[in-house]
Structure 1
Amino acid sequence: MTSLEDLFRCFDTEENRRILKHLDLNIDVLSLIWHHINPFVLNALDYKIQNINRLAQDTSVSPLQRAVTAMGKFGKLSESEVTTPLPVAEAVIRMLSDDCFLSLRDDSCRILDLASKMGEFAIAVCKRCEKMGIDRSGAAASVAAVTTSPVAYEFTRKVYRVLGLSTDSIAAAFYSRDLPEFVDQREDGAQKLTKILTQAKPMCEIKFTDEAAEEEEKAVKFNAVVGNPPYQEESQAESTRNGQKPRRNIFHYFQKQAMLLSEETALIFPGERWLHQSGKGLKSFGKSLINDVRLKKVVFYPDSRELFPATDIPDGISIVVTERTKTASGFEYEYITEEEDIILQRSNPGDELLILNPHDISIVEKAKAFTENYRLPFLHESILPRSLFGIESDFIEKHSDQVRLYTEETGIDYDTEVKLLANDQAGPAGRSRWFVVGREHIRQNREYLAQWQVVVSSAHPGGQDGRDNQIAVADNHSAFGRSRVALKSFDTKEEAEHFRDYAESSLIRYLFLMTDESLSSLAKLVPDVKDYSENNSFLDFTKPVDLQLYRLMQLEDAQIRYIESKVSKKDRESR
């Protein structure tokens, strides 16, 4: 094919009809474009088609290099489908043992990419085989793939052809995003999916409706499962609370399925949310995986742009490697930033949260020792629910005729009314403002209206990602909506202000940064000294809190400088 005209001459074949369907191309629309396009633009387009075809057929370049060149032309297939850069895919494949590749000549052994976009992991597998002296033709049917979408299917299929791999090894009846739904909708769904995917037949023939026979359960052995699976999925239904489409994490489905399927796994997915067991569906998964004896290695990039330059994932990226035959506890941990690459052996943390930056370990250990020595709780235990007063995100919109803006000049009857801090509308466009509402609208936890709360933004309560947590004292005539969360509640203004000073100290702000800011892990490493009155036995609130805390935690000068540099950096980022 050397021109757009050639496309119309060959589209009426089964394969090309499939390609048009998968790429969501309409031949009638293409025909209109062809007949009405500017001749100079058409000439340029035909040249590009001819050039791409020439490159694809260039026998002077090795198939592997042609595949690499083709992949380099694309970064994103869609907003949610970011191709894994080849150096990253190669690094992941290097984390697998040699045994995974030596047995690929066996027809019953395969490596599976659970989320192929452009066959990037297939290219990396072929390069590893080449370095190990393994003939790629002997393993042509042993590199299997489930693709992320119809478009990804066509790209992966093209790369497989260039590499000389069997396109029969690509799933044709389902895509990566179908796997979590399959598991959710069936009892023992993960085990059933394992039986289906390990059937002794080409991957292209496998369907979810297959009834896998028991004797075929292990007919195909996956030496390894690799990939960069989808991280989240968006529901088509609108949220009844804030008008936004809800999203849920799904990457953990792929990790759990991979560990059922294979001897070894090496997957890429967001880091901090699972490492700190935060986010919907991740609490039990994160705790289980970080303590699993099969966990061999975790590579954590706090800045996702180190791996994916065009994509900013707030909680960083992790590469997780497991090995079924591993029996010793602990795992290798690698922490990579632009400035440094730290490798150390870590113990499985049990009920504790893993400290992500190795430089933070000694400081956090001192804070924990102080907390344990004086039998103090952590602040996480006192945080009140975001739904404390039952004010939803759309409250102001729904009751616009029953609320008014609050200003200092506005009169308010505290016997029948309260101040309300809430968003003026649901969704990301909403802005937090003070309103006046009747007390009858506060239908739950009314006893807190007589107390003072120290509140922070529920979106960024710990001040992570360079955001201001908007800490403030809400007086004993105030309520607030879901845009705020109360860290603690007090009977007096004095206690509330002392606690605010405590929470704004450099050390406590630093300790807030040690965990993910989702409410499930917020302040899990922040000591709570409980008494914030003038009678506190640890702190004199008439004096600078920072110096007293440094002394209480027995911090060294170098540690203090490190803490203050981290907090100062956060302040610069939040401006």
Structure 2
Amino acid sequence: MPNYQDVYNNIYKPDVLSCLADLSNDEVFTPPDVANKMLDLLPQELFRSPNTKFLDPACKTGVFLREIAKRLIAGLADKIPNLQERCDWIFHHQLYGIAITELTSLLSRRSVYCSKYANGPFSISHFDNPIGEIVFHKVKHTWDKKNSKGKCIYCGTAYKGDLNDIKREGLETHAYEFIHTQHPEEVFNMKFDVIISNPPYQLSDGGGGAKKSASPIYHYFIRQAIKLNPRYITMITPSRWLNGGKGLSDFRKEMLNDHRLIKLVDFDDSKECFPGVDIPGGVSYFLWARDQQSEFCNIINVTKNGDQVVDNRRLNELPSFVRDNRAVPIVRKLLSFKEPMMDKFVRSRRPFGLESATAFDDEGTIILRNSKGLGKISLNRITQGLDILHKWKVIVSKVTFEHAGTPDKNGQMRVLSVIQKLPPDSACTESYLVVGAFDSEKEADGLLSYLKTKFVRFLIMQMLASMNMSKSSYFYVPVQDFTRTWKDEDLIKKYGLSDEEWKYIDSIILPMPEGE
């Protein structure tokens, strides 16, 4: 055993985990500096106690356990002066991990024990077995026999037809142990003080035309962690759950009404947290504290240039959560008018029953707008939306103007791409949303002018969870009198925006080009 004073700083030069953090945007590896920022949220006396137990239930590189070990080695120096005895105590009694794959179990042990085998000659603390306290057990999905696809009863995402395919023989099944059990406490049979992790974000659910659709699974890790009732939980996930995401409605309600969620650090651009990794809607990490319930949450917005905007507010104050602290006072003002919102009038996905790939029909009599432009289609191909077919319609692209729904390098967004007026006897594919339908062209023009204002596009921006928009994106856009033309000056005056509030909107929303 080498005689060293600083176990990790002497061994890891340069830090390979900083390099690995740039490799993936699916199961994202955590950079060491981000892991340490999350650890900074915790009371630091935890690292000075020989009784604090830590768990990472989704180990990938072992970075959390390694950085915790560094702090414990320093924090316990006065209590356990002998370095080797101190390391033995920490690794055998305080640090625990559940790897997500066999490969990551080896990588995590290499990061934490300096050896992929805990009983190997190079392990800095000797165990009687090769796994130490970083385990990986091959777990199978449990298929729901009542579900036509045979979906897993635990993750609710994986389906039998995909993962049992013979082509996958020998590959990972992504049945993560921590969330594929009703009794997560039995994995180590102990209570934990801190659960910290960067869990897998999503798993293929077999949906979509090419079966490339995926559903989030990180919320299952958070729920299981809460079920274990530790003193603290801190996890980093996509921010999409805050106001969107497939199948996350119940989870969102649970979290936004949980007074134990006392801090939220939110990056609207994931690359500010994970360099080179583009995650639509950004990422965030939180601190959940069992014994520190508060009506208010400390919310920190990390902007495109790394600046921070801090506020203490109720997570459930507004009917739908607004991530941007600077937008909250503006939303409060417009809500005081108690006006109906546009989300009640925007048509749902696929307004005329036409898929994105719907081709033109030269013999048709109905004007069709698809991604290639304008053409014709036969009336009998339209399966829904017949009640607005003969009206004037205003449509917008379902996909935001910006890639992945994130601001440009200057922190600005245009938000809406195509905004177009369609005449009576016209339709569009599911690539577009029908925002409004009217008997008169004048009202359609009024809505067009309204959507082009920076004020409206700023309000839509507050509800973006990804690059795709839906009717819920208009949750905070008030309905107006569309028999008139609207300009930003009109809306500033109507809603009493301050100079500072307008200056902020003006600074982050790009103008619509002339003629669009």
TM above 0.5, one fold?
A: yes
Offset at residue 94 of structure 1 (A):
2.1
Are 2:43 and 1:111 aligned? no
> How many residues matched?
453
1:560 alignment counterpart: 502
Partner deviation per Cα, 1:212-263 (whole Å, 9 max, x = no partner): xxxxxxx40011111111111224x4633xx351111111111111111223
**Cα distance in 1 for residues equivalent to 2:207 and 2:464:** 27
| Structure 2: gaps of 5 or more residues | 78-85, 115-123, 144-150, 158-175, 407-412
**Cα distance in 2 for residues equivalent to 1:177 and 1:225:** 24
**Cα distance in 2 for residues equivalent to 1:494 and 1:131:** 71
Offset at residue 133 of structure 1 (A):
2.2
Partner deviation per Cα, 1:317-355 (whole Å, 9 max, x = no partner): 111110122333221111223352233321232452333
State whether residues 94 and 128 of structure 1, in contact with CA within 8 Å, keep that contact through their aligned partners in structure 2. no
1:260 alignment counterpart: 227
Are 2:37 and 1:91 aligned? yes
**Cα distance in 2 for residues equivalent to 1:125 and 1:177:** 32
**Cα distance in 1 for residues equivalent to 2:138 and 2:22:** 21
Are 2:353 and 1:390 aligned? yes
2:134 alignment counterpart: 170
Larger radius of gyration: 1
SS across alignment from 1:305? helix
- Give the letter for the 1:234 counterpart: S
State whether residues 149 and 176 of structure 1, in contact with CA within 8 Å, keep that contact through their aligned partners in structure 2. no
Cα 1:471–1:73, aligned 2, differ >3 Å: closer, same or farther?
Answer: closer
SS across alignment from 1:448? coil
2:197 alignment counterpart: 227
Cα 1:70–1:198, aligned 2, differ >3 Å: closer, same or farther?
Answer: same
**Cα distance in 2 for residues equivalent to 1:345 and 1:84:** 27
Of the two structures, which has the highest relative contact order with CA contacts closer than 8 Å and spacing of 6 or more? 2
1:545 alignment counterpart: 487
Cα 1:198–1:571, aligned 2, differ >3 Å: closer, same or farther?
Answer: same
State whether residues 141 and 180 of structure 2, in contact with CA within 8 Å, keep that contact through their aligned partners in structure 1. no
**Cα distance in 2 for residues equivalent to 1:165 and 1:385:** 60
Cα 1:328–1:229, aligned 2, differ >3 Å: closer, same or farther?
Answer: same
State whether residues 304 and 313 of structure 1, in contact with CA within 8 Å, keep that contact through their aligned partners in structure 2. yes
Cα 1:115–1:507, aligned 2, differ >3 Å: closer, same or farther?
Answer: same
Q: 1:198 aligns with which of 167, 172, 185?
A: 185
2:162 alignment counterpart: none
2:154 alignment counterpart: 183
2:164 alignment counterpart: none
State whether residues 458 and 484 of structure 1, in contact with CA within 8 Å, keep that contact through their aligned partners in structure 2. yes
Partner deviation per Cα, 1:296-330 (whole Å, 9 max, x = no partner): 11011122112111112231111111012233322
1:158 alignment counterpart: 110
Partner deviation per Cα, 1:255-314 (whole Å, 9 max, x = no partner): 11111122310000112x2222x1211222122202211111101112211211111223
Offset at residue 83 of structure 1 (A):
2.0
1:243-322 pair list within 5 angstroms: 243=210, 245-261=212-228, 262-271=230-239, 273-276=240-243, 278-322=244-288
1:239 alignment counterpart: 208
Are 2:420 and 1:472 aligned? yes
Answer with 64-73 or 359-368: which moved more.
Answer: 64-73
Partner deviation per Cα, 1:443-475 (whole Å, 9 max, x = no partner): 223121111111111122899534542111111
**Cα distance in 2 for residues equivalent to 1:177 and 1:359:** 44
State whether residues 72 and 90 of structure 2, in contact with CA within 8 Å, keep that contact through their aligned partners in structure 1. no
- Give the letter for the 1:226 counterpart: I
**TM-score (structure 2 length as normaliser):** 0.79
- Give the letter for the 1:497 counterpart: D
Task: Provide the aligned C-alpha RMSD in A.
Answer: 3.3
SS across alignment from 2:350? coil
Cα 1:76–1:196, aligned 2, differ >3 Å: closer, same or farther?
Answer: farther
SS across alignment from 1:310? coil
Cα 1:58–1:418, aligned 2, differ >3 Å: closer, same or farther?
Answer: farther
Are 2:300 and 1:357 aligned? no
**Cα distance in 1 for residues equivalent to 2:48 and 2:181:** 23
1:17-56 pair list within 5 angstroms: none
Are 2:12 and 1:63 aligned? no
Cα 1:173–1:331, aligned 2, differ >3 Å: closer, same or farther?
Answer: same
- Give the letter for the 1:318 counterpart: S
SS across alignment from 1:472? strand
Offset at residue 151 of structure 1 (A):
2.3
**Cα distance in 2 for residues equivalent to 1:149 and 1:182:** 20
1:479-494 pair list within 5 angstroms: 479-494=427-442
Offset at residue 102 of structure 1 (A):
5.4
Answer with 442-451 or 376-385: which moved more.
Answer: 442-451
**Cα distance in 2 for residues equivalent to 1:136 and 1:344:** 40
Cα 1:77–1:153, aligned 2, differ >3 Å: closer, same or farther?
Answer: farther
2:443 alignment counterpart: 495
**Cα distance in 2 for residues equivalent to 1:131 and 1:173:** 32
1:11-22 pair list within 5 angstroms: none
Answer with 321-330 or 166-175: which moved more.
Answer: 166-175
- Give the letter for the 2:232 counterpart: E
**Cα distance in 1 for residues equivalent to 2:374 and 2:286:** 45
Cα 1:165–1:144, aligned 2, differ >3 Å: closer, same or farther?
Answer: farther
**Cα distance in 2 for residues equivalent to 1:238 and 1:283:** 19
**Cα distance in 2 for residues equivalent to 1:330 and 1:159:** 37
Cα 1:192–1:480, aligned 2, differ >3 Å: closer, same or farther?
Answer: closer
2:121 alignment counterpart: none
SS across alignment from 2:89? helix
Q: Which has the higher helix share?
A: 1
State whether residues 297 and 322 of structure 1, in contact with CA within 8 Å, keep that contact through their aligned partners in structure 2. yes
Offset at residue 527 of structure 1 (A):
0.9
Are 2:98 and 1:130 aligned? no
2:27 alignment counterpart: 81
Cα 1:130–1:324, aligned 2, differ >3 Å: closer, same or farther?
Answer: same
1:40 alignment counterpart: none
**Cα distance in 1 for residues equivalent to 2:442 and 2:471:** 28
**Cα distance in 2 for residues equivalent to 1:95 and 1:169:** 24
**Cα distance in 2 for residues equivalent to 1:120 and 1:498:** 55
State whether residues 395 and 421 of structure 2, in contact with CA within 8 Å, keep that contact through their aligned partners in structure 1. yes
Cα 1:122–1:547, aligned 2, differ >3 Å: closer, same or farther?
Answer: same
SS across alignment from 2:455? helix
**Cα distance in 1 for residues equivalent to 2:378 and 2:64:** 60
2:398 alignment counterpart: 458
State whether residues 301 and 317 of structure 1, in contact with CA within 8 Å, keep that contact through their aligned partners in structure 2. yes
Cα 1:318–1:520, aligned 2, differ >3 Å: closer, same or farther?
Answer: farther
1:210 alignment counterpart: none
Q: 2:455 aligns with which of 483, 495, 507?
A: 507
SS across alignment from 1:446? coil
- Give the letter for the 1:567 counterpart: I
**TM-score (structure 1 length as normaliser):** 0.71
